[in-house]
Structure 1
Amino acid sequence: MLTARSLCFLLLLTWLLLAPAAFGHAQPAAGFELDLQDLKTPAAPAAVKKKKSTPVARTKATVKTTGKVSDTKAPALLQHVEKSQSPVMSELALKATDPCQLAERLAVAVAHRVPEQELLYDLDLKPVAAVTFGGLRLLVVCDLAAAEAYTYRRLLADHGVELVSIASGTAASVVTAVIADALGISYQLQQETLNGELSYLFPAEFERKRPLKLTIQP
């Protein structure tokens, strides 16, 4: 038979066992009630966060230039123009029968004739030709004695004038060489035939605007 003391002990034990469970069930109810209160309270609108726009980097426009198309016909056209602009060669034939006459005509043909008085400087000479070329000046005389030729040559040299004396019987090749050398003229012997015919080429230079082909016939 249970005594009053034993009964009290059982009640206390039962309470101790049931109290935590009862307390645990009560807590969710309180939390649930709190949640219901929160639902009833209007929530403040959340601040809308502006999306920061990312600046787009500007790229420099690339302008592609198209190079000038090379004209394949340009070289041929240029050659044609140069060929058409090349000076036409002059041709002259002289006779070598008289060396003095040949010297006169040859000097006038390869250089520029000027009045004799411009180069004489009051000297008593009888030149057959007075010419200039590329800044050089020349008097051509015939059959002048060697001593006189030497004296006059020195006197004229003081004025910057050359003197060439052609003697009778001088070969055509010598006449050509002496006059050309005195005037500093470049030339080329192109042909010498068996019968004594000579062909010279004088290029275009200084006052001579066109090349000259000179043929000296025997």
Structure 2
Amino acid sequence: MAAPRSKSEGGTLARSFFGVLLFSLGIFLFYAAGLEAFQTRPLNDIRLGVLAGAGAYLLIHRFIGVGDFFGTFTHELCHTIACVLSGGKPLKFYASQNQGGYAHLTRTNIFVVLAPYFFPVWAVFGLAAFRLLVWVRAAPFILPFTAFFVGMALMHHVLCLLHSCRPHQSDLKKYGLIFSYGFVAFANSIILPHVFLLTMNPEAPWHHFLEKLWRLAAFHAGPLWERLAASIL
């Protein structure tokens, strides 16, 4: 007779299953976001600003480099912001160029631990500034420059994610790699397209694309699963 599973083993299996589910949902949401972004027309100054910013940061990262300090600072800042939003307090904050960094916090949870991998902090700040400028009807020539910053910040987050989302990361191992990857993929599939599309479409309400992407993902999920099953069977 097989030995009964321990509670820790059962919890690990449950988290792994939930992680696979979240990862699958994330794929559908990214697919829906791609469809929505492809249909965004025309390419006005604001939309070109977002794309130009993303391309500019990619070139800077590839040919000039931005150093490790900014990435480390951003990583620890995300932990800290998530802790504060969870009701905790930061006790100590440290970031360096060559020796990494850390944040001593009074509270930790899955959002605090995984925040650097799904929360594009500079892009969110840029989006907030951009929407504020739209709301106060700032001079039109300012908006493309703000959109340019949002594009740079989004690309910064994507490149940091690709660099740091490795199996050896202690943050990812804390809740299990499968669950962490699934959670990160799902959270990014909601936040990144939302920031991108809200900048590309400044007149859209905050919740517009979240609802639209969810409907698109649900609409296309059935046919995609059918094709996948047909290819396997």
TM-score (norm 2): 0.22
Higher strand share: 1
Tell me which protein shows more helix as a share of its residues.
2
TM-score by length of 1: 0.23
